[in-house]
């Protein structure tokens, strides 16, 4: 039985839980470090990356999350979660978790009122996925072993590096669960 955690400190937690459950898999809202030992993969949701980082520090999540990653367990960051995973953030000296070999730029598609939806072709997922962009970051550059999965107007908006998956948009805010299903498949592969 696969159990997918959603980091429950801030952001679109309920929506991710709904998407995971729609894929027929158990979802766990992770609010305590101890819960990491009982899940097979973790989604870091969208929200506000600086607020999320403050809460991660407050509840002692940074090192345990790095440990979780070092055990080879898959992690999926959406929107702010993508920023949390990145090794470099434009305009910042230090990353948050620094796990994925990408450089991201925050709010690169504008502020809240510039939110939009766009049809995306996502490699291995769908040719026609509707991405919901809300104050979205984008991936400026990727390391050599990072697979670019989707671009929008020349900007990278989804990528995978081994056990790490990240996207600029909010797949959980639609009824299309194919991106969540892709992550669940990644988790199942690591369990085999």
User: Is 113 marked as a binding-site residue?
Assistant: no
In angstroms, the CA 142 to CA 104 distance is 9
| Candidate list 16, 96, 138, 170, residue with the active-site label | 170
User: Is 106 marked as a binding-site residue?
Assistant: yes
44 Cβ contact list (under 8 Å, min separation 6):
7, 52, 75, 76, 77, 78, 80, 81, 84, 85
User: Is 131 marked as a binding-site residue?
Assistant: no
| Candidate list 96, 105, 172, 177, residue with the active-site label | 172
User: Is 47 marked as a binding-site residue?
Assistant: yes
In angstroms, the CA 104 to CA 87 distance is 8
User: Is 48 marked as a binding-site residue?
Assistant: yes
C-alpha dihedral sign at 178, 112, 12, 83: positive
User: Is 135 marked as a binding-site residue?
Assistant: yes
CA dihedral 134→137→143→147, nearest 10 degrees, is 10
| Candidate list 15, 16, 79, 96, residue with the active-site label | 79
Determine whether 172 is an active site residue: yes
Task: Provide the angle, in degrees to the nearest 10, between the axes of the packed helices 49-58 and 62-70.
Answer: 90
Residues marked as catalytic: 79, 170, 172
Query: Residues within the annotated binding site?
Result: 47-49, 106, 134-135
Query: Residues within the annotated binding site for L-glutamine?
Result: 47-49, 106, 134-135
């Amino acid at each position: 039985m696969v159990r997918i955690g959603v980091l429950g400190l801030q952001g679109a937690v309920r929506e991710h839980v709904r998407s995971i459950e729609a894929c027929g898999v158990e979802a766990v809202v992770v609010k305590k470090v101890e819960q990491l030992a009982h899940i097979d993969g973790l989604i870091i949701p969208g929200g506000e990356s600086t607020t999320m980082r403050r809460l991660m520090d407050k509840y002692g999540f940074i090192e345990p999350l790095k440990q979780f990653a070092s055990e080879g367990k898959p992690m999926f960051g959406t929107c702010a979660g993508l920023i949390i995973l990145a090794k470099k953030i434009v305009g910042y000296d230090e990353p948050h978790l620094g796990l994925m070999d990408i450089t991201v730029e925050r709010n690169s598609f504008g502020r809240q009122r510039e939110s939009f939806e766009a049809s995306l072709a996502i490699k291995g997922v769908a040719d026609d996925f509707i991405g919901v962009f809300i104050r979205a970051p984008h991936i400026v550059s990727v390391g050599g072993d990072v697979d670019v999965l989707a671009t929008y107007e020349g900007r990278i908006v989804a990528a995978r590096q081994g056990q790490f998956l990240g996207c600029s948009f909010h797949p959980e805010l639609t009824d299309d669960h194919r991106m969540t299903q892709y992550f669940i498949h990644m988790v199942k592969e690591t369990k085999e």
